[in-house]
Amino acid sequence: MRIALGQLESGTDIGANLAAMDRFAAAAAGDGARLVAFPEYASYEKKVGDASFPAVAEPLDGPVCTALTGTARRHGVALVAGVIEASGKPDKAYNTLVAFGPDGSLLASYRKIHLFDAQGIGESRFISPAPSAEPVVFEFGGVGFGLLTCYDLRFPELARALSDAGAEVLLACSSWVPGKHKTRQWLALTAARAIENGVYVAGVCQAPPVSVGRSVLVDPMGAAVAELGLDPAVAAAEVSLEVVAEVRRQFPVARQRRLGADFSAGWCRPE
């Protein structure tokens, strides 16, 4: 399956952000992609979170998601993007990923588990963590896609849980805060999560200045098969279940692990 990374430069103009996603979805579809992934906070983003985030939050059947379903249907692609979901609390919202099918149906939604309370930034001031830590995996075109958001990459147990739940591709939708060594860490962590789980990792990021850019699709051996630079852009590449199966055959870590392992389960049982 061919999938695309849509690297945005989202700001506070929701209409402009939605229009950019529509343009990139059209380009991705024209390049043969069946799924296009956009970053965290794709619909609304600022350099520093503030009270405007819960103020613009909507339910998942609100105008933002309605526009995204229209984009998915119009271009005949599955679409994954970060939105700000209303939580029912006036001062807090959810940082949510939504996945829509080419027919506009909701395939999955994932509320960010690990909020970025680090580097002097307090995401939890205006965002509520997911009430459930259950991994979210959806199937599209015979491929299992697992959802995680930005800071989640630093928690390898979530990527492992997604893989155990059937993910063959992890969609890491992010707005990776810039700083010392942060681009190096972004690239290292996307590769590490791919290698240790035998999966593809699609790390799709916001562009500078709010984030580091450098969106990347990493294969299960840790090689980058698609990369973007610092500017808003879209890139597509193939993901192969045959490659996933072969790497997991060579490195059957799921059945070999001993810390917290359930030896009766996993995606790579002994013959």
Active site residues: 40, 112, 150
What is the CA 196 to chain-centroid distance, rounded?
A: 18
The identity of residue 50, as a single letter, is D
Contacts of 72 (CB under 8 A, 6+ apart): 25, 78, 79, 100, 101, 102, 103, 104
Structural element, H or E, at residue 111: strand 106-111
CA angle 36, 40, 42 (to 5 degrees): 70
For residue 220, whether the previous peptide bond is cis, meaning omega lies within 30 degrees of 0, is no
What is the CA 12 to chain-centroid distance, rounded?
A: 20
Task: Give the residue carrying structure tokens 């045959």.
Answer: 242
Burial class of residue 28 (count of CB atoms within 10 Å of its CB; 0-12, 13-18, 19+):
buried
Contact 210, 46 (CB under 8 A): yes
Dist CA 180 CA 203 (whole Å): 19
Dist CA 41 CA 21 (whole Å): 12
Q: Which two tokens stand for residue 170?
A: 């992890």
Q: Which two tokens stand for residue 143?
A: 């491929």
